[in-house]
Amino acid sequence: MATRKTVSTFAQAKKTGDKLTMLTAYDYSFARLVDASGVDAILVGDSLGNVILGQPDTISVTMEQMIHHTRAVAAGAESALVVGDMPFLSYQVSVQDAVLNAGRLMKEGRAQAVKLEGGVAVESQIRAIVDASVPVMGHIGLTPQSINAMGGFKVQGKGEDAERLMRDALAVQDAGAFAVVIECVPPETGDALTKALAIPTIGIGAGPDCDGQVLVYHDLLGLFGGFQPKFVKRYANVGEVISKAFGNFVSEVKSGAFPGPEHCFSSPQKLDKLY
């Protein structure tokens, strides 16, 4: 059995300079594949709303959906730290809600840590969740749960706005988070935040100087047909392979090529001898 990665793995990596890796997963089979790659953490992201549930954004994702998918991922992950995302309005309304919902992701979803979006505005929520012994990963910069307030998916932390992100990053750290995701900021901002923080930064569209990188696996594998953000690198075109295989199945059934004799059970007696 593989050794489990923990929040200590993250703290250690910040000291040694080893780059951290995180990928998303939403079910058991993909959790097993992602886990076998050696990633440090598997994020059950609320990107679930986009890539699994076909929604235009993450706003409608519920606690029940996050618990359901986190539990499936936790069952398939042997070595990676399983991080469950807290969905929109599961922590913003009150500190009490935040602690109870973080606890549900752990107790019912079997997450080993939770992630939530925001900086200064959610500092007291992060502190209370950490005090309840639930490790928290922060998420600042472009925070998709706030797209309506931000006026769309826009690069954050440009020019003087970098100072706002620095205040958010320090608030997340001071509240006790063990790591922070930084999304969609110029590389200079990603670098400055990484240098200023004692906790590791995990970048997504935040340049090469973050302490680690995270991607949504649908983007990395070419499984998601829609818009591909600039920060995504496509490592394979699995969508094409799948479409071809599905098409071959359909045409072989229609032509009679499938199933062949090798896919049929042998019968000890001829059917006509049964009567």
Query: Which residues here bind ligand KIV, judged by CB under 6 A?
Result: 24, 43, 45-47, 85, 139, 181, 204, 214, 216
Q: Contact, 16 vs 212, CB < 8 A? A: no
CB of 226 to ligand KIV, least distance (A): 15
Cβ closer to ligand KIV: 5 or 139?
139
Residue type, 212: G
Cβ closer to ligand KIV: 235 or 262?
235
Task: For residue 57, give every residue at least 6 positions away whose Cβ sits within 8 Å of its Cβ, in sequence order, or none.
Answer: 49, 50, 144, 147
Cβ closer to ligand KIV: 235 or 258?
235
The two three-digit tokens of residue 246, written as one number: 């599905």
Cite the active site residues.
183
CB of 45 to ligand KIV, least distance (A): 2
CB of 143 to ligand KIV, least distance (A): 9
Cβ closer to ligand KIV: 172 or 254?
172
Q: Contact, 184 vs 142, CB < 8 A? A: yes
Cβ closer to ligand KIV: 43 or 199?
43
Task: For residue 31, give every residue at least 6 positions away whose Cβ sits within 8 Å of its Cβ, in sequence order, or none.
Answer: 25, 42, 72, 73, 74, 75, 76, 77, 82
CB of 48 to ligand KIV, least distance (A): 7
Q: Contact, 3 vs 79, CB < 8 A? A: yes
CB of 214 to ligand KIV, least distance (A): 5
Among candidate residues 26, 24, 22, the one with its CA nearest the CA of residue 10 = 22
